[in-house]
Amino acid sequence: MKFKITAFLCILFSFGKMNAQEVKKHLYKGTIDKYPITLYLIEEISGCPTTSYTGMYKYDNISKWLYLEISDDEENRLVMVEGGITGIISVKKTGGVLQGFWISPDGNKKLNVNVKEVPTNAKTFQSYDEKYDQVNYEMNDC
């Protein structure tokens, strides 16, 4: 009986670890064309091998935060659609750098995107998490 209980607990513990998600947060600073921006991404790794991203960005000292719907592929490319489809960001992720383009909804305007990940502590991430929750709520509330 003791063996059965131990075996059950081991299986339960292993199953719990298999379903655990790892969450990584990334803060990037750089530019879209000549305009300085801040980009905040949340990366959720489920190990299935699915990775999903959510995020927001803003033009520093110019705009409020813009919600991003994000898709990725196996080649480290991210496509980020601004909430309300006011623009699309398509970048390639190489280490801590994202490079690519911002494209207007009509496709007539294309600007260079170049951002680098910046070191950040848990306290700083907390303020970005709170802002993201607000932006996400505003974008997805019925």
State pLDDT tens for residues 35-56: 999 999 999 887 766 788 999 9
Picking from 57, 118, 60, 137, the residue whose alpha carbon sits closest to that of residue 91 is 57
Averaged pLDDT score across all residues of the chain:
86
Instruction: Kindly state whether residue 11 falls inside one of the protein's structural domains.
Output: no
Q: Which residue segment(s) compose the domain that 92 sits in?
A: 20-140
Instruction: Kindly state whether residue 9 falls inside one of the protein's structural domains.
Output: no
Q: 26 with 43: CB under 8 angstroms?
A: yes
Domain count across the chain: 1
* pTM for the full predicted model: 0.81
Q: 36 with 59: CB under 8 angstroms?
A: yes
Instruction: Kindly state whether residue 35 falls inside one of the protein's structural domains.
Output: yes
Instruction: Kindly state whether residue 2 falls inside one of the protein's structural domains.
Output: no
Give the pLDDT confidence of 99-129 residue by residue, as tens digits: 999 999 999 999 999 999 999 998 999 999 9
Q: 112 with 101: CB under 8 angstroms?
A: yes
At 135, which CATH number?
2.40.128
Model confidence at 139: pLDDT above 70: yes
Instruction: Kindly state whether residue 6 falls inside one of the protein's structural domains.
Output: no
Instruction: Kindly state whether residue 65 falls inside one of the protein's structural domains.
Output: yes
